[in-house]
Structure formats: structure tokens, C-alpha cells
């Protein structure tokens, strides 16, 4: 099971990113957990400066913008 | 080149709505239509064009430029990058920490963060189209100076003493290790990638600012049409010394960004408010906002937060006084 974290300080883009991932995960029936990480110390520990960022199984796969639908589907596949 | 917008406003306000050009309402509606249509077209065209150019610039690259620079150059580069680097204001905390953990002094980081809301492509564009290039140049110089001097001041008083503990530790480690960042966004981009970035930027920024344009121009139109001619000039036109700090304080609870406040500036200046008072009001509205400062609490102690806030208020007041006294020569 993949663990997906969305890093961000709670801005609207971060919320939307998390919602999009959850929506696609449900559509594709992917076996994942999605959570939001808002703690700045944790975000710093991942070395991320531009949010929203996406972390899958502790690896940063995306940062600085809302990911596109194709990207999300590729992560979930 | 901007006449087409005047013609559009003539047609909509006077022909279609049947308002009289000499009535207050007709005047205000005409002003509103002309400015909103002009600003919308300019915004879409210019945001796209600028985004194409700066597609490959991001905070990660700025950090590697700034790391290890000497101080004097650092403040100027910090303020310069602050004005051109795109980043969401909700990212300011991660950016602050990212810079700090690379060992970049607090003052240089703050030069970057203070300049960013004051100067950006939307603000510059609006100033150019509404108030002309001279005023725009002045605004840029003043905004950069506030960022540069503010940053230098914070380092001079050793502001890093008042960071939250974990941020102070990150700064110390960063300064000892002198980490190097390589490859951050250094890949060159194809035109198609730039176009994608620019398209997203345009949609995103326009989606965020269009309502501010309506609010700002609406307020400006109300001032334009309904404040009696000469009222502002008569009461505040001499640049009375107290009017500047009053404008700065008045602007604190007004939480807006540059897009909303610049159309209001235009009306204030046209109605005879002195240039220094107007600048002070505008900068205070944009840069001294409580919601953003409360966010910084995560990385700064109250003492530093209050210092930065007070510093900005003093800086904007000085800006106002200086420009009011210089305005006869401008």
C-alpha cells in the first residue's frame, strides 16, 4: 500500500491537490492512504520550499504547483 | 493604443445604458468600464508574456544563487529576486525555512520576502498603464529600497536571536555546512513546456486577481464620480505631516494586494492626494497585513515579528514624508 502525503501550509491549492488525489484514487480503486502534512518542521525535513508538494512513500515526487491529472494517475498506477 | 477602451466605454455607458456623459453616475460608470476592460486585456497578455520569460526561475534556483553571497550583494539580489520570482504567498514559511537552512542570513531572506508582495508583474503593469512610467520607476526603486534597507537593518540588530528555536538551529547548521545545491531546476525548458507554464500561470493569476480589479476600480470609480471635486485636495493636498502616518495606520486593517489597491491609488492621485501620502498608503495596505504576519509566527518569536512590523510602518512613513517633500521637483 502506498502512503501519499500532501505537504502544504493549508492553502487552497494544497487542499485541492489532496482532494484530487483522493478522487482519482477512489476512481481507479488504488490501494493508497492520502494525508495532509501541515507541520512546517516536517515540510522542512523533506527539503521542500514550494508547496503544494507530494510525497509518496517518503520520496518527494512533485513540488511547487498542483499536479496534473495525468501525473496523479501515473503515481497511482 | 488605449483609445479602443475609451471607445468601448463610450459605447457601453452612453449609447447602450443611455447615461449622460455629464452626470456623476455616467462619469463613474464610464471610468469603471474603461479601466476594467483595459486592465483585464493587459493582464492576460502581459502575465502570459512574462511567464514565458521566467518559466525556468524558481525558489530553488534563487536559493542556490543567494547561498554564500556576501551581504551587500545579498540584500540587493534578495530584493531583486523577490520582485521577479513567482511563488504563492502561502509558501512564504517553507521558503523562509529553505533559505535559512541553506545558511542564508535572515536579513537577505527578509529582503526577498518583503519585496515580493510590493513588486510583481501585476503591480508594475497596473502602475504603468494607470499612472505612467515615471511613477512606476519610482515605485520600483522605493519598494526595492525598503526590502534592501529592511534586510540590512534586521541583520544589524542580529534578528536571528529571535527566531524560533528550530529555525535558529537550522540556520546554524546551514552556516556550518555550507550545503551546495546542484541541478535544482537547471534543466533547460522547451518552448512547449514554457507555454504550458505560462498558460497555467495566466489562468491561475487571473483567476486570483480579477475580483480585486473590480473591487479596486469600483472604489476608484466611486471616488472619481462621487467625492466632491477638490475635497481631497482641499483637506489633505498640502501633505500635512500627520496625514502620512495616518494613511499608513489606516491601511493596516485594509487587507488587499497590489492589484486591488493600485486602481484606488490612481483615483487618489487624480483627486489631489499628494504622491508621498498615496505611496505610503498603498505600500502599507499591500505589505503590512496581519494574516500574513501571523503565519510568520511559526518561525519567529513575537519580538522579531513586532520589530519587522514596526520597521515596515516606520519605513512607509519615511517614504511618504520624503516623497511629499520632493514632489515639487518630480
Residue numbers of A annotated as active site: 11, 14
Residue of A17, A49, A50, A55 to mutate when probing chain B, most B C-beta within 10 A = A49
Residue B10 lies in a domain: no
Query: Does B91 contact A41 at a Cβ distance shorter than 8 Å?
Result: no
B68 in a structural domain: yes
- Look at residue B230 and tell me whether its pLDDT is greater than 60: yes
User: Half-sphere exposure (CA, 13 Å, Cβ side) for B328?
Assistant: 3
Q: Does the beta carbon of A10 lie under 8 angstroms from any beta carbon of chain B?
A: yes
Query: Is A9 in Cβ contact with B98 (below 8 Å)?
Result: no
Residue B276 has pLDDT above 50, yes or no: yes
| Domain count along chain B | 1
Q: Please check whether residue B159 is in contact with residue B304, taking contact to mean a CB–CB distance below 8 angstroms.
A: yes
Give the predicted TM-score (pTM) of the model. Answer: 0.80
Best of B88, B193, B296 to disrupt the A interface (most A CBs within 10 Å) is B88
Classified as helix, coil or strand, B95 is: helix
pLDDT for the residue numbered B330: 65
Residues of chain B contacting residue A41, judged by C-beta atoms under 8 Å apart:
166
Span of A59-63, B54-58, B112-116, B169-173 with lowest mean pLDDT: B54-58
Distance of alpha carbon B179 from alpha carbon B185, whole angstroms: 17
Structural domain boundaries, residue B316: 22-329
- Omega before B186 within 30 of 0, i.e. cis: no
pLDDT at residue A35 above 50?
yes
Band (B91; pLDDT cuts 50, 70, 90): confident
CA distances from B142 to B119, B162, B269, B288, B316 (A): 10, 27, 17, 16, 9
Q: What are phi and psi of B160, to 5 degrees?
A: -65, -15
**pLDDT for position A44:** 83
- Percentage, residues of chain B above pLDDT 90: 17
Percentage of the residues of chain B whose pLDDT score is greater than 70? 92
Chain B residues with CB under 8 Å of A44 CB are 94, 97-98, 101, 170
The per-residue pLDDT for range B62-78, each reduced to its tens digit, is 888 888 778 888 999 99
Distances (CA, A) of B61 to B86, B173, B289: 12, 20, 28
Average pLDDT value over all residues in chain B: 83
Higher pLDDT, B288 or B59: B59
Three cell numbers at A16?
485541492
In a domain, B311, yes or no: yes
pLDDT, tens only, B297-310: 888 999 999 999 99
Cβ–Cβ under 8 Å, residues B57 and B91? no
Domain annotation covers residue B242: yes
CB B101: neighbour CB atoms within 10 A?
24
Given this model, what pLDDT does residue B89 score?
65
CATH of range A2-68; options 3.40.50.720, 3.40.640.10, 3.50.50.60, 3.40.30.10: 3.40.30.10
For residues A36-55, average pLDDT: 85
| Residue A26 CB-density burial (10 A; 0-12 exposed, 13-18 middle, 19+ buried) | exposed
Distance CA B198, CA B213 (A): 21
- The pLDDT score that the predictor gives to residue B183 is 42
Amino acid at each position: 500500500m502506498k502512503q501519499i502525503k500532501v505537504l502544504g501550509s493549508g492553502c487552497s491549492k494544497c487542499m485541492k491537490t489532496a482532494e484530487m488525489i483522493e478522487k482519482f484514487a477512489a476512481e481507479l480503486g488504488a490501494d493508497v492512504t492520502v494525508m495532509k502534512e501541515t507541520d512546517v518542521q516536517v515540510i522542512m525535513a523533506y527539503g521542500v520550499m514550494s508547496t503544494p508538494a507530494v510525497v509518496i512513500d517518503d520520496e518527494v515526487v512533485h513540488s511547487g504547483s498542483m499536479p496534473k491529472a495525468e501525473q496523479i494517475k501515473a503515481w497511482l498506477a | 493604443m488605449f483609445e479602443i477602451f475609451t471607445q468601448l466605454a463610450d459605447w457601453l455607458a452612453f449609447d447602450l445604458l443611455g447615461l449622460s456623459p455629464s452626470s456623476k453616475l455616467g462619469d463613474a460608470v464610464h471610468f469603471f468600464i474603461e479601466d476594467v476592460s483595459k486592465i483585464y486585456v493587459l493582464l492576460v497578455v502581459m502575465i502570459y508574456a512574462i511567464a514565458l520569460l521566467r518559466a525556468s526561475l524558481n525558489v530553488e534556483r534563487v536559493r542556490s544563487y543567494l547561498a554564500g553571497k556576501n551581504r551587500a550583494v545579498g540584500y540587493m539580489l534578495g530584493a531583486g529576486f523577490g520582485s521577479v520570482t513567482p511563488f504563492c504567498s502561502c509558501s512564504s514559511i517553507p521558503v523562509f525555512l529553505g533559505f535559512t537552512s541553506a545558511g542564508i542570513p535572515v536579513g537577505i531572506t527578509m529582503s526577498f520576502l518583503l519585496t515580493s508582495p510590493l513588486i510583481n508583474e501585476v503591480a508594475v503593469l497596473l502602475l504603468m498603464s494607470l499612472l505612467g512610467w515615471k511613477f512606476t520607476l519610482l515605485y520600483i526603486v522605493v519598494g526595492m529600497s525598503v526590502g534592501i534597507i529592511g534586510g540590512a537593518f534586521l541583520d544589524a540588530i542580529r534578528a536571528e536571536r529571535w527566531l524560533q528555536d528550530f529555525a535558529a538551529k537550522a540556520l546554524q547548521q546551514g552556516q556550518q555546512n555550507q550545503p551546495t545545491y546542484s541541478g535544482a531546476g537547471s534543466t533547460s525548458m522547451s518552448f512547449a513546456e514554457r507555454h504550458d507554464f505560462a498558460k497555467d500561470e495566466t489562468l491561475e493569476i487571473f483567476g486570483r486577481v480579477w475580483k480585486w480589479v473590480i473591487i479596486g476600480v469600483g472604489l476608484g470609480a466611486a471616488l472619481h464620480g462621487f467625492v466632491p471635486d477638490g475635497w481631497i485636495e482641499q483637506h489633505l493636498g498640502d501633505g500635512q505631516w500627520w496625514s502620512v502616518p495616518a494613511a499608513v495606520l489606516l491601511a493596516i486593517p485594509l487587507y488587499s494586494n497590489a492589484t486591488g489597491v493600485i486602481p484606488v491609488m490612481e483615483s487618489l492621485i487624480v483627486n489631489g492626494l499628494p504622491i508621498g501620502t498615496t505611496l505610503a498608503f498603498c505600500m502599507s495596505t499591500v505589505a503590512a497585513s496581519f494574516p500574513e504576519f501571523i503565519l510568520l509566527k511559526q518561525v519567529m518569536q513575537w519580538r522579531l515579528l513586532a520589530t519587522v512590523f514596526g520597521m515596515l510602518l516606520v519605513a512607509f512613513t519615511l517614504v511618504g514624508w520624503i516623497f511629499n517633500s520632493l514632489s515639487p521637483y518630480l
